[in-house]
Each structure stands twice: as structure tokens, then as C-alpha cells.
Structure 1
């Protein structure tokens, strides 16, 4: 069973470990910060900013999502599932939670070299807006900009 809740400050280390585990598996996108810097960023920046939710499966943190508002759109900034738990509905539960928040538009960037993530977002109604060469992300890896638009209730 998957349960969702707002992330708390004392979840910072567990979320950082999920992030680091996932990013280590992304051989195409080098980690640009030390593990300690990542942990400090989670504890000192990401969680205090709010809009972070996590999923628990069988009582353990299985993944998380972080969002922000920018230029009138909701941005999905982070969505990571603990390595080994992908494909079990956790990402879908987190994404559905975000999209139910009521924003008319949700955008995100994903690395072009991550076909699994691209298929996931496309399967959930996101459309590709543009491809980037990586100059706008710290990893300098080619990325893709996706967007989801809420369908008005009468047009479904």
C-alpha cells in the first residue's frame, strides 16, 4: 500500500539518499555536488521551501516529489523513486497528487538520455515542448522540456 504525506524536516536524509541513489544510476548525468552538499541542500533549501511530498510503501519512504510555481505554471522540480521500486505505481501516485493540486499547467525538464522518464511523463499526458542542448542545466546534459495542460471539466 502506498501512502502520501507532506515531507517533514526530519525526512531530509532519507530523501537525499533516494536522490543520490537515483542520480548514481544516471551515468549520463554526472553528480555536480558532493553527497554532503546534497544532504545540506535537502535539509536547508528544498524542505524549508515546501511543496515536497513523499510516498511511503510498507512504512518506508519509497519516493518523493518537489514542485514550485514559476511564471504562472507549476514546475515539477524533482520526482525520484527509490532504486528497485520503480514500476510499482509510486511515481504515478506522486504525479497524480501533484496534478490534482489544481494548476492549469505543469512543466518539467528531463534528461534526453532518460527514456524511461520520458515514456512515463508522455504516458501521463505530458507533451514535448522542446529539446535543449544542456547549456541551461548544471550537468550540461541535453534535456527535454515537457508540459501538461489541465483539460477543462466540460471538455473531457
Structure 2
């Protein structure tokens, strides 16, 4: 199964929002902070126009996406979601490789503490835990974990 990565465009907003919503609904420990319509509007009006979102296609379907931002001389992985039917096939890894393509600076991300699958994934790809938070700084008020991967980390 070939995975291809490309920049996401305006026409992809609904498909990416649908993947995000489906994945987030699986997270019973972190209820959605916004209604579906607001999420779709945010993807179309804010996330995709930023130009820092990639999507993965597998077998002609959008399989997942990743979005980044630059803050404080660090690359932030703000979103990385893989659709349910595409997990375990390298989609997340391919997206992460795109995000971390040289010359990537240090990369940081937040993940919910209860999301053990995501935490294992990031740790396996060279991210180290920096701190645990009580959730007061995120919209879901859900305990989170801050991770960082140095620019020269090896998997």
C-alpha cells in the first residue's frame, strides 16, 4: 500500500475535519470543546489557509493529516490524526517524517495523558516527555503531556 503525502488545500477541509472529529470521538477522556460545524469552519478558515498542513493518501483515500506551527524557535506538531481504517499501516509515521524533514528544528507537541497509544508512538519516534499538565491550559480541561524531539534525534 503506497502512501503519498501532499500539502492540504481548501478542498480537503471537510475530509480532514471528518477524520479529526471521528478520532476525537474515540477519546472519551477528552470531550470535544466545539460543535461539528465550528470544527469544519476552523479547518476551512484557519487551519488550511495557514499552509502548514499535510495529508496522507492511501489507496486513493485521505488517510490522515498533520499540521504544524512555528513558535519560540520550535516546530510544534499541533495535529496528527490517522483515520480508523488506516491505522497500523505507516500513515502516522509517513506524516511524522514529512513534518520532521530536515532541516527541522526541535519539535514539540502536547498529547492527552490518557492517550497511551499516541504517547507510545511519539516516544518510539524520539520524543521525550518534558512535563505533565493538569489540563487547565487546554480547551478540554484534560490532563496533558508536553513532549519534545531534538533536531538530531534518532528513532
TM range (shorter): over 0.9
Q: Where do 5+ consecutive residues of structure 2 fail to align?
A: none
Tell me how far apart the structure 1 counterparts of residues 105 and 52 of structure 2 sit (CA, whole Å).
17
Q: Give me the whole-angstrom Cα distance separating, in 2, the residues matched to 1:144 and 1:112.
A: 5
Counterpart for residue 136 of structure 2: 135
Question: What secondary structure, in the 3-state scheme, does the structure 2 residue paired with 1:84 have?
Answer: helix
1:109 counterpart residue number = 110
What's the counterpart of residue 90 of structure 2? 89
2:72 pairs with 1:71 = yes
Map 1:32-43; keep pairs closer than 5 Å: 32-43=33-44
Gaps of 5+ in 1: none
Distance 1:15 1:151 in 2: 30
What SS does the corresponding residue of 1:48 show, helix, strand or coil?
helix
Distance across 1 between alignment mates of 2:152 and 2:139: 33
Once residues 64 and 130 of structure 1 are traced to their aligned partners in structure 2, the CA distance between those partners, rounded to angstroms, is 25
> TM-score of the superposition, structure 1-length normalised?
0.95
Q: CA-to-partner distance for each residue in 1:33-88, whole Å, 9 max, x for gaps?
A: 11000000000000011110000000110000000000000000000000132111
Q: TM-score, normalised by structure 2?
A: 0.96
The whole-number CA distance in structure 2 between the counterparts of 1:132 and 1:30 is 17
The number of residue pairs the alignment matches comes to 153
Q: Work out the CA distance in 2 between the residues paired with 1:125 and 1:38.
A: 30
Q: RMSD value over aligned CA atoms?
A: 1.2
CA distance in 2, matches of 1:5, 1:101: 17
CA distance in 2, matches of 1:128, 1:143: 11
1:118 aligns with 2:123: no
Aligned mates of 1:56, 1:76 — CA distance in 2: 19
Task: Tell me how far apart the structure 1 counterparts of residues 81 and 137 of structure 2 sit (CA, whole Å).
Answer: 21
